[in-house]
């Protein structure tokens, strides 16, 4: 068996550990499909918990479940013993344990070298545990103190321990996401809300959407395997790279970022298929006639939305969508004081939390600080663009094109830090293009204090931003 695994791993250019993970990850699809046929609420929760434990054991070994157990028990204990403060307690305890595991296992180095460990799954699990505790905390508050999203997701009653474990480990979603809410999990398990059999008298079929996600996953993996040998990360420290001209080095940074993203597209497409086929990915019906089912709850990436983003502000809406949503609801919005508008501080704090969640590597920290600058710079361009009167449409279109080019440049410049991780390699790659992706956003932010568009020229709705 071991020889067969080694031979298979070698044939696709990955380690045995990664192959084992991929096989278990693919197994989440039939495991999730079988959940549909488990009778009764208790049995469904038990199946979700035990199948998650088994897949984790087969993928990462026995110790992985012990690691998962720590934040899960800390979160549940805080909800039982300290409900009034369980959200903030679980936040710091969960992140503290995750950071400790990141430091102990040096997980970023393992991932960079093509390895795998349980800390990636622990990252997703940590977000689930924290959101559950915060929503249980919100259940004590008055409705007028809560936003619409907080009202929707709050938990009045403490979930049972088996419901809680089922939520954390269901469908192998802790492997790579997506993150979802405990309230949605309970409704899905109990066939309430949009999962009620009486909802529009229809039962959505998941098979077409699952097939689409699987075909997308296959395409993404094929393209990644084709591109990755041509654009290795080791090239950034190669003397040959330093001999290239500015534009060629900038082009290589773009292709390196472009190549790396297809690995994430593959992983998220596969996890999307798993959540869709279970039924949990269902998010309602379209208004068309006849109505069609939507599966947005499982969607973690919009590939064209990322690659053709007209503005950096759009990126959190199309990349790692469910984690971006989590960061918005549980960090960004909760840092805004009542009656005040969010600003650069909330953006920077949110990006810092995201960086720490990924690990304490300098490349992560630099990337997410860069992301905050990138988004702030793009907002400046957008405000200028909206201030231009309709009769100057040509100039407005030039600014639209400039925002697109700006996003393309700064995103792929910034993401090198996310890929190489070390401070030396990150600064070397940024310095090789004269820190252009840092200087331009800062220059735009400073210019915004000089060139201030008239408020009256702004549109009423800013959904496009």
Q: Return the H-helix or E-strand segment holding 284.
A: strand 284-285
Do residues 174 and 124 make contact, with C-beta atoms less than 8 angstroms apart? Answer: yes
Q: Which residues, 6 or more positions from 167, have their beta carbon under 8 angstroms from its beta carbon?
A: 48, 128, 132, 159, 182, 185, 186
Q: Secondary structure of the chain: what % helix, strand, coil (to 5)?
A: 75, 0, 25
The percent of residues in the chain predicted with pLDDT above 70, rounded, is 93
CA gap 54, 270 in Å, rounded: 19
Check residue 458 and give its pLDDT.
47
Question: Per residue in 4-14, pLDDT tens?
Answer: 767 777 767 77
Q: How far is CA 276 from the centre of its chain?
A: 17
116 near 163, Cβ under 8 Å? no
- Whole-prediction pTM: 0.90
pLDDT value, residue 58? 92
Over residues 278-301, the pLDDT tens digits come to 999 999 888 887 888 899 988 999
Residue 462 has a pLDDT of 44
The C-alpha atoms of residue 282 and residue 183 are separated, in whole angstroms, by 14
Q: Kindly state the DSSP code that residue 331 receives in the 8-state scheme.
A: I
Q: How confident is the model at residue 455 (pLDDT cuts 50, 70, 90)?
A: low
The dihedral through the CA atoms of 376, 382, 383, 385 has a sign that is: positive
Q: How confident is the model at residue 42 (pLDDT cuts 50, 70, 90)?
A: very high
pLDDT one-digit tens code per residue, 131-186: 999 999 999 999 888 999 999 999 999 999 999 999 999 988 889 989 999 999 99
Residue 198 has pLDDT above 70, yes or no: no
Quote the CA–CA distance of 32 and 21 in Å, as a whole number: 17
H or E element in which residue 161 lies: helix 161-169
pLDDT of residue 114: 66
pLDDT value of position 3: 64
Give the span between the Cα atoms of 102 and 361, in whole angstroms.
Answer: 9
pLDDT, position 203: 76
Q: What percent of the chain has pLDDT over 90?
A: 68
Q: Alpha carbon of 61 to those of 55, 119, 257, 376: distances in Å?
A: 9, 12, 32, 43
Full DSSP string of 399-450: HHHHHHHHHHHHHHHHHHHHHH-SHHHHHHHHHHTTTHHHHHHHHHHHHTTT
Residue 463 has pLDDT above 90, yes or no: no
pLDDT tens track for 56-94: 999 999 999 999 999 999 999 999 999 999 999 999 999
Lowest mean pLDDT, pick from 95-109, 191-205, 293-307, 377-391: 191-205
Choose among 206, 208, 197, 202: nearest CA to 288.
202
For 438-448, the pLDDT digits (tens) are: 999 999 999 99
Is residue 404 predicted with pLDDT exceeding 90? yes
Residue 27 clears pLDDT 50, i.e. is over it: yes
Taking the C-alpha atoms of residue 75 and residue 80, their distance in angstroms, rounded to an integer, is 9
Confidence of residue 456 (pLDDT cuts 50, 70, 90): very low
State the average pLDDT for the chain.
Answer: 90
Quick one: pLDDT at residue 210? 96
Q: How confident is the model at residue 457 (pLDDT cuts 50, 70, 90)?
A: very low
CA 161/CA 72 separation, integer angstroms: 10
| pLDDT tens per residue across span 232-274 | 888 888 889 989 999 999 999 999 999 999 999 999 999 999 9
Q: Is the dihedral of CA 255, 258, 261, 263 positive or negative?
A: negative
Distance CA 200, CA 58 (A): 41
Quick one: average pLDDT of 104-123? 79
Q: Is the peptide bond between 290 and the residue preceding it cis, with omega within 30 degrees of 0? A: yes
Instruction: Decide if pLDDT at 437 tops 90.
Output: yes
- Pull the structure tokens for residue 99: 């950071």
As annotated, the active-site residues are: 358
């Amino acid at each position: 068996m071991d020889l067969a695994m080694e031979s298979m791993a070698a044939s696709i250019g990955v380690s045995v550990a990664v192959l084992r993970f991929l096989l278990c990850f693919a197994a989440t699809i039939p495991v999730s499909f079988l959940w549909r046929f488990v009778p009764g609420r208790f049995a469904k929760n038990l199946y979700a918990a035990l199948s998650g434990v088994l897949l984790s054991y087969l993928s990462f070994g026995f110790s992985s479940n012990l690691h998962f157990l720590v934040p899960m028990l800390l979160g549940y204990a805080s909800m039982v013993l300290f409900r009034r403060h369980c959200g903030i307690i679980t936040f710091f305890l969960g992140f503290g344990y995750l950071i400790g595991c990141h430091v102990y296992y040096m997980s970023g180095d393992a991932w960079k070298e093509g390895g795998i460990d349980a800390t990636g799954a622990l990252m997703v699990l940590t977000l689930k545990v924290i959101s559950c505790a915060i929503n249980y905390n919100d259940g004590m508050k008055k409705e007028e103190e809560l936003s619409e999203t907080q009202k929707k997701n709050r938990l009045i009653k403490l979930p049972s321990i088996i419901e809680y474990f089922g939520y954390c480990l269901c469908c192998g979603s802790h492997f790579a996401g997506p993150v979802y809410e405990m309230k949605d999990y309970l409704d899905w398990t109990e066939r309430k809300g949009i999962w009620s059999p009486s909802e529009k008298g229809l039962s959505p079929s998941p098979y077409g959407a699952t097939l689409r996600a699987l075909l997308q996953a296959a395409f993404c993996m094929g393209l990644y395997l084709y591109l990755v040998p041509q654009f290795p990360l080791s090239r950034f420290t190669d003397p040959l790279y330093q001999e290239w001209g500015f534009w060629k080095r900038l082009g290589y940074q773009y292709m390196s970022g472009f190549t790396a993203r297809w690995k994430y597209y593959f992983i998220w497409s596969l996890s999307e298929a798993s959540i869709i086929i279970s039924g949990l990915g269902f998010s309602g019906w379209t208004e068309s006639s006849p109505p069609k089912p939507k599966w947005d709850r499982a969607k973690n990436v919009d590939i064209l939305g990322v690659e053709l983003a007209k503005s950096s502000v759009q990126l959190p809406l199309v990349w790692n969508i469910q984690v971006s949503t989590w960061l918005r609801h549980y960090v960004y919005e909760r840092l805004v004081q009542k009656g005040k508008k969010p600003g650069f501080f909330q953006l920077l704090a949110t990006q810092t939390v995201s960086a720490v969640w990924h690990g304490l590597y300098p490349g992560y920290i630099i990337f997410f600080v860069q992301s905050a600058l990138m988004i702030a710079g793009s907002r400046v361009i957008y405000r200028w663009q909206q201030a231009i009167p309709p009769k100057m449409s040509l100039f407005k279109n030039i600014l639209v094109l400039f925002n697109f080019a700006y996003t393309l440049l700064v995103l792929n410049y910034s993401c090198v830090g996310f890929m190489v991780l070390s401070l030396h390699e990150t600064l070397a790659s940024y310095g090789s293009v004269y820190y252009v992706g840092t200087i331009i956003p800062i220059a735009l932010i400073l210019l915004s204090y000089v060139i201030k568009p008239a408020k009256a020229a702004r549109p009423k709705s800013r959904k496009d931003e």
